[in-house]
Amino acid sequence: MLGLRQLSWVDKRLRQVFPGRAADFFGGMSIILVGDFFQLPPVANKPLYFDGPLKDLHEVSGQAAYKAFNHTAGFRLALEELRGLRLSIESWKLLSQRVQAKLSQCEVDKSILLSGSIARKLCHEYNYDHLVRLKQPAIQVMAKNIGNGADKATSEQAGNLAGQFPFPLTVSYAITVHKSQSITVDKMVTDLSERDFQTGLSYVAVSRVKMLEGLMIDAPFERASLHYDKLPDGVLMKVRDQDRRRQQQLDQPLSIPSFS
């Protein structure tokens, strides 16, 4: 079982590996703890749930790192509600704290990624306005080999032909929600003021950051744009499938012993 001292070592090593995020717990990396506290405690090490006084500095820092896992609870709940299109008033108020007008200029300047339910034309315009400030042109690589005679050579003449298909890379400050899927960023700005033309857009956009502090919302938004009294058919199908898969799991977690 992982103990406080070991967790402290993991935290410190990740800060060394990622010096740009050395001020953040675990170097800004996402950490998942899995296990059962009711099994055997770690040998010669304080368990993570230890709540008594500590003297060892490694154990103290390990306890601080363990308690840091609770800092994103409110944001995780808001994401879960966005996912199900049932944003509560409390979560709406939490997200509203990240509206641009309420943030400092320093926070606004750091939010350079625009990922929201915006038109492709607007995305291109935003990119152009920001990329033109770089003053140095981006490197251009030919996407197709135009060597003289290369396309006319047979496989025998070339000693077996090989084809390569380049992976397109685009320099950008702004991307659409669809292209943002599967990526995680430190800072991003999005617009939640209009109801999604496709359910899930706002959830995907907001969930690109790991913490609430990494989110900036472009303009004030109403809770009604993110809360559905009647769920769309597509979402209901997802809910039914989720309920079906839940039946394959344990109905209740392992029982917690009670003491009189």
Mean pLDDT of 97-126: 71
Number of domains in the chain: 2
Residue 152 domain flag: no
Q: Do 130 and 8 share a domain, yes or no?
A: no
pLDDT value at residue 206:
92
Among 71, 100, 123, give the residue marking a domain's end: 71
What are the φ/ψ torsions at residue 231 (nearest 5 degrees)?
A: -70, 140
Query: Which tens digits make up the pLDDT trace of 52-66?
Result: 999 999 999 999 999
Express as a percent the part of the chain with pLDDT over 70.
73
CA dihedral 191, 193, 194, 197 (to 10 degrees): 30
Do 35 and 94 have their domain in common? no
Contact 39, 1 (CB under 8 A): yes
Domain-embedded: residue 193: yes
Residues 54 and 93 in one domain: no
- pLDDT attached to residue 13: 95
The Cα–Cα gap between 80 and 96 comes to 16
Are residues 10 and 97 both part of a single domain?
A: no
Indicate whether 109 and 214 sit together in one domain: yes
Tens of pLDDT, residues 1-33: 889 999 999 999 999 999 998 998 999 888 888
pLDDT of amino acid 95? 95
Residue 86 phi/psi, 5-degree rounding, is -130, 65
Whole-number pLDDT of residue 162: 65
Are residues 90 and 186 located together in one domain of the fold? yes
Q: Supply the range of the domain harboring residue 24.
A: 4-71
Residue at 232 is within a domain? no
Lowest mean pLDDT among 48-57, 137-146, 159-168, 206-215: 137-146
Q: Is residue 120 part of a domain?
A: yes
Work out the average pLDDT over 121-149: 65
**Strand-by-strand arrangement of the 114-116 sheet:** 174-176, 114-116, 188-190, 215-217
Of the candidate ranges 6-20, 35-49, 108-122, 163-177, the one whose mean pLDDT is the lowest: 108-122
* Residues 42, 3 contacting (CB under 8 angstroms): yes
